[in-house]
Structure 1
Amino acid sequence: MDILHLVDRLEELFNESRPIPFTNNVVVDEDRMLDLIDQMRVAIPDQVKKAQKLVAERDRTLAQAQEEAQRTLQLARDKGEGLVERDSIVEAAQARADQILEQAQLDAEATRREADRYVLEELTNLEIELERVLNQVRNGIRALREPHGANPQTDEDSPE
């Protein structure tokens, strides 16, 4: 399941929660909240798997380019064996193979950078959202632990 969908569901749970009068806190359905948090824990590896697929795709592209470069070089060698100008053909093929390989490496590096950027962005967004939800949960817990209608000054004066 998409992590952003789960965050939306968590926010929906928060918005459906009953407010505690005279506070900024709400009472949250603990079972639903914990279920969503568990689903988030499962979904995070899915986001990482997507990034790994991008990296694997980059590696496949590089391998294909190397294979194509080798085939081009071998083809040039095979065709050029009978020719007097064999060296120039092989050099041209080698230059073309090197060019293909260099471009494939540039493409693979660009794909890796994009995958890294995507993963960093997704994990950063997740961290921010989880911190926001955690703060809301802590506020709710704190509100439930405080006696109803307690005067904050009285709480400080009373021993724990």
Structure 2
Amino acid sequence: MDLLHLVDKLEELVADSKKVPLGNRIMLPYDRILEIIDELRIAIPNDVREAEELVLNKSSLLRSAEEEAKLVISAAESKASTLMDEHEIVQSARLKADQIIQQGENNLKERINQANQEITKRIEDSRVLAQQEMGAADNYAKQLLERQDRQLQAFTSSVHNGLEQLDRVQNVEQIVNEDTLDTNNIDLGDSQSMELEEEIVIDTTSESENNLELSNENLEQIIDSNNTTEKIVDDFSLDDFDERK
């Protein structure tokens, strides 16, 4: 599977994810993100393998050029041997053979240099591309995970606030219960003070219950969003995605 295909999968996963209330945020499945990152890491070495094939082709190209040069040299030597009856013809043949040999060697060196440059360039391009794509994939995954972490921290803070409110309510109720034991020994003014304290307790309890209900509603929304996201990922298998592409 190529890298662009996997990047498309990441984009589609983000686009299909359910938004979280109270903010421009979304919920993404942690395991699915890691799975796509692993697929990206597996896909990247394909470019490196192609570079290795170019190196192997280099050896084949060198052998082909050497064989061609040998054939040219052999042909030149054969032709020169047929012209050795006459001095001028022999000299001309030798000169021609030397030129052919030199030209063959020059051509061989030039083709070797070109092959080396092409192979080096492709290997470097493949390495740079692989590093860029891996870095982009890692950064994208890191941003998604950091976003999830901020959402979890916000929810945890809401739960802690609710627990603190409940603790304060319980402390006030304990004080009221202790004071109730002495109600037979206090005057009417103290009775009115107790009624005022009970009203404060009722107000504080109501506020804590409201905070707790809000935390529960946020928890239910986050759980529902997470379940919906995981259901979308499960239904959207890799085979279905390949067929649509």
Bigger helix fraction: 2
Mapped contact 1:10–1:36 kept (Cα < 8 A): yes
Mapped contact 1:14–1:28 kept (Cα < 8 A): yes
Compute the RMSD of aligned alpha carbons: 2.5
- Which whole-Å CA distance do the structure 1 matches of 2:140 and 2:26 have between them? 12
Q: Deviations over 1:40-88 (max 9, x none)?
A: 2221222211222233333332332222112211221222123223421
Structure with larger RCO (C-alpha < 8 A, sep 6+): 2
Mapped contact 2:33–2:141 kept (Cα < 8 A): no
Could you list the runs of 5+ residues in structure 1 that have no partner in the other structure? 155-160
One-letter identity of the residue aligned with 2:119:
R
1:107 is aligned to 114
Q: Write the mapping of 1:5-154 to structure 2, written as runs, cut at 5 A.
A: 5-23=5-23, 25-83=25-83, 84-85=90-91, 86-148=93-155, 150=157
Mapped contact 2:19–2:25 kept (Cα < 8 A): yes
Could you list the runs of 5+ residues in structure 2 that have no partner in the other structure? 84-89, 162-245
* 1:127–1:81 CA distance, 2 compared to 1 (3 A): same
TM-score w.r.t. structure 2 length? 0.54
- Counting aligned pairs with the same residue, the percent is 26
TM-score w.r.t. structure 1 length? 0.77
Secondary structure of the residue that 1:150 maps to in structure 2? helix
Would you say how many aligned residue pairs link Structure 1 and Structure 2?
152
- Which whole-Å CA distance do the structure 2 matches of 1:18 and 1:57 have between them? 50
Q: Deviations over 1:1-48 (max 9, x none)?
A: 111211221122123223334455432123432332222222122221
Larger radius of gyration: 2
Secondary structure of the residue that 1:28 maps to in structure 2? coil
